[in-house]
Amino acid sequence: MRRRCTWRIFQSIEYSCEQDQIKLHNFFNYLMDHFTPRSSGERDFISRMFTEEENYRESELEKFCDYDSVEVPDSYTGPHLSFPLLPDHAAALVEAFKQKQQLHAHYVLRLLHETRKHLKQLPNINHVSTCYSEEVTVCGDLHGQLDDLFLIFYKNGLPSPEKSYVFNGDFVDRGKNSIEILIILFAFLLVYPKEVHLNRGNHEDHMVNLRYGFTKEVMQKYKGHGKKILKMIQNVFCWLPLATLIDQKVLILHGGVSDMTDLDLLENIERHKFVSVLRGKKKKKNRLMELRDMNGDSINSSMTSLSSSSAMAPSMTDRMEFSQWVRKTVQEQLEKCRKLLEIESDSEDDDFTCATSVAMSKTESELSETWQTIQEEWKQIIDVLWSDPMPQEGCIVNTVRGGGCYFGPDVTEKLLQKYNLQFLIRSHECKPEGYEFCHSRKVLTIFSASNYYEIGSNRGAYVKLGPDLVPHFVQYQASKTAHTLSMRQRISRVEESAFRALREKLFAHTSHLISAFKAYDKDDTGLITLSNWATAVESVLHLGLPWRMLRPQLVRNTTNGMMEYKCWLDDLTIEKRSQEHIQSSMLEIIYRNRSNLETIFRIIDSDHSGLISFEEFQQTWKLFSSHMNLELTDDGIHDLARTIDFNKDGNIDFNEFLEAFRLIERSHSEDKTEPKPTPKSSKR
């Protein structure tokens, strides 16, 4: 029971963070739909930060992948690569990384270049047969934990013609060695293209990498060349296949399926166009240009002239509004032509206008259908990468993660029957034993990152399939420390870590909790019942945890079934302030918003230098103020930027960015709480 509760704490907090990630990007989409640039400078900033073309042309990628211009100095003592790669090269990389060596940026860029060329030739769904090797080994999430990959290779052997592997996504983020894992997997992919297969996971997405550590890791390890490497990885990720099919009977994909999953459609999607699945349904400020770019061809010259019109195209979801905009813009263009040619309106012009409007309506309909197709394709991909199984029948939106869906056993059975499959293998969820069956053993979850939440929290596992397709599991613990602890010590250590994370979550919502508690304390006694405490905490955190069961670990001092909630919150505050000597109000704001703010900072920091300019800072705060209802003038924002630029270098780093948020939040709170002046009574 203790272990189950601990597990639910870890998982609930993890999924709430993923939900925050989705909400953050919905917030960006909101800003894009509601913020109107007032100058070309603002427009350029918006375009660069949110709507820059994600699919680079070949010429642009060549610039990022100019590995020949990156020289390897004579002093370099790390591993060397030559192409085409040989088995010895890949094995040497494994040994070099065991010795904590780093591969030079020249070789990294060359490896990414060759990997991209190979991936472009692959279908969306890889087809693998057990006839060509003794068995196929399927590995789940690794999340930057290099020791787990080393242990898999030690136990199971390196990839070879007799040893096929399928790595089922989420190679990066969270762990400290994501780039090394990518390098090893890409090297073996090039050496054994028929024996090594890589599926895309939801973390093979540059927008997710901004939040969960991979972007930061690459910039720290490769500094000057980090931006080039990240741009290449971003493009490599979008070319990763979406699924693998073994002997036409076992479907392997990262997340899951939905009641709309169509493998025939999935096989024909141009997967590389979805560079970030989180941004798949983003609508740029100019819908016509977006559709033209995503289709890779020009619609026609007349539409191009329309798209350059100063008027902003409304959303295509409102067909009537869009239709009116098209006709109005056509009329404006015709009127300009008439004025230039000094032609008066007559019946012939009216006929021409009518014909043009009909033609534009037809084009509008075609564009709307194209947009709907893009949306359907995006839905297929996000369901495959983000979904989770559930025990109940049906298919519902995955509100816990914020993306994909929950699919029931009936959805699984329907898909298996439709495509004549035996079972599904997916990853995406950490499991205590490293694997877990559900849906009458028709869905298998495999997770390969051991000690994912804490040392001793879970085993890692991989599964081996022979020609009979009967799964054989191998479990392991990659941490040496875990082997030295008794079962009781492991449980205690994991439990302590889980409750520490939960207390941080509670502390981050102190002000909201006070409001919720006061709703049950009508007489302002400072006391509430334990039952009301549990209800109030869930109403604020929305973690779906059994708070009454967890209460003894979280609430120590009670009297006659009542608790002093202010003292309880003070205890949380003192615990945090003892670790960081900062005032509690600032700490609460940082704890609650740090992940979102760090992600926002990295998006603004387009060159990944760790610094943003005053201009970028000003434009960003204009966006935020439009959403947060804060009245900030240009001079006010500039003064704020100068105030927080502590070292006066003309740039703002992340800690300074946090300070700006704290100052604005404090000012906003003071404005809300400031008492209104009492009007003077007039004499009668």
Could you check whether the bond before residue 677 is cis, i.e. omega within 30 degrees of 0? no
Amino acid identity of residue 88, one-letter, is D
Q: Residue 471 belongs to what H/E stretch?
A: strand 471-476
The β-bridge partners of 425 are 252, 444
Token pair of 203 as six digits: 């973390």
Round to whole Å and give the CA distance between 669 and 542.
24
* 603 contacts: CB under 8 Å, gap ≥ 6: 28, 49, 50, 210
For strands 250-252 and 423-426, give the pairing.
parallel
To the query of whether residue 203 is one of the catalytic residues in this protein, the response is yes
The count of C-alpha atoms lying within 13 angstroms of the C-alpha of 298, restricted to the half-sphere facing its C-beta, is 8
| Contact criterion met (CB below 8 Å) for 227 and 453 | no
Q: Residue 464 belongs to what H/E stretch?
A: strand 460-465
| Contact criterion met (CB below 8 Å) for 640 and 665 | no
* Closest C-alpha among 100, 274, 132 to residue 196: 132
Handedness of CA 64, 67, 71, 75 (dihedral sign): positive
* 677 contacts: CB under 8 Å, gap ≥ 6: none
Round to whole Å and give the CA distance between 38 and 225.
35
CA dihedral 267, 269, 273, 277 (to 10 degrees): -80
Three-state DSSP class for residue 396: strand
Report the chain's terminal Cα–Cα distance, integer Å. Answer: 74
Round to whole Å and give the CA distance between 157 and 88.
14
Handedness of CA 543, 546, 548, 549 (dihedral sign): negative
Selected catalytic residue, list 89, 113, 143, 203? 203
Round to whole Å and give the CA distance between 6 and 4.
5
515-520: which pairs have CB atoms within 8 A and are 24 or more residues apart?
Answer: 516/540, 517/565
Three-state DSSP class for residue 404: coil
The count of C-alpha atoms lying within 13 angstroms of the C-alpha of 682, restricted to the half-sphere facing its C-beta, is 1
Token pair of 382 as six digits: 């996000």
Token pair of 474 as six digits: 């191998």
Token pair of 90 as six digits: 């890949």
| Contact criterion met (CB below 8 Å) for 49 and 603 | yes
Write out the catalytic residue numbers: 203
